[in-house]
Amino acid sequence: MIQARLTTEPIDTSALLRELAHPEDGAQVLFLGVVRDHHQGREVLRIDYEAYQPMALKELQKIADEQAAKHGLHRVLVVHRFGRHEIGDASIAVVIGSPHRAAAFKAAQEIMDRVKTDVPIWKKEYFKDGTIEWVLADKLVRSE
């Protein structure tokens, strides 16, 4: 299974790992992107994630398919959560099942690198000082 998903629900990592489990795999890699309490020296209160979801899903699926083919993987799952996120909430999960760990680790890193640059997902960061910033691909788009 090579699949990308979007959700507004909290990401259940145990369920994702169970879903991808396969007896031929000697490795399961799980990467979680979580909301941290700071960004560039400023205290973050929360983040909202938004996207044009049909396009975001299409790009996530393309990345998952390309990385699976590149690394010879048959089990890749990328789940991105949208909406309001508090500190510590997972916004993205990349789960990979593989006979060997090297391909799984490499694919997970490459998937995240591509998600950051290729997928139209905006985050709205709320800072303790009262400012709000829209960010796309780690670049400031607009301050409020």
pLDDT digits (tens, 9 = 90+) for 18-74: 999 999 999 999 999 999 999 889 999 999 999 889 999 999 999 999 999 999 999
pLDDT of residue 136: 76
pLDDT value, residue 142: 55
How far CA 63 is from CA of 2, 105, 116, 120, 128, in Å, comes to 10, 15, 11, 13, 35
Domains of the chain (ranges plus CATH)?
A: 2-143 (3.90.1170.40)
Rounded to whole angstroms, how far apart are CA atoms 143 and 117?
20
Report the chain's mean pLDDT, rounded to a whole number: 93
- Tell me how far apart the alpha carbons of residues 19 and 14 are, in angstroms, rounded to a whole number: 9
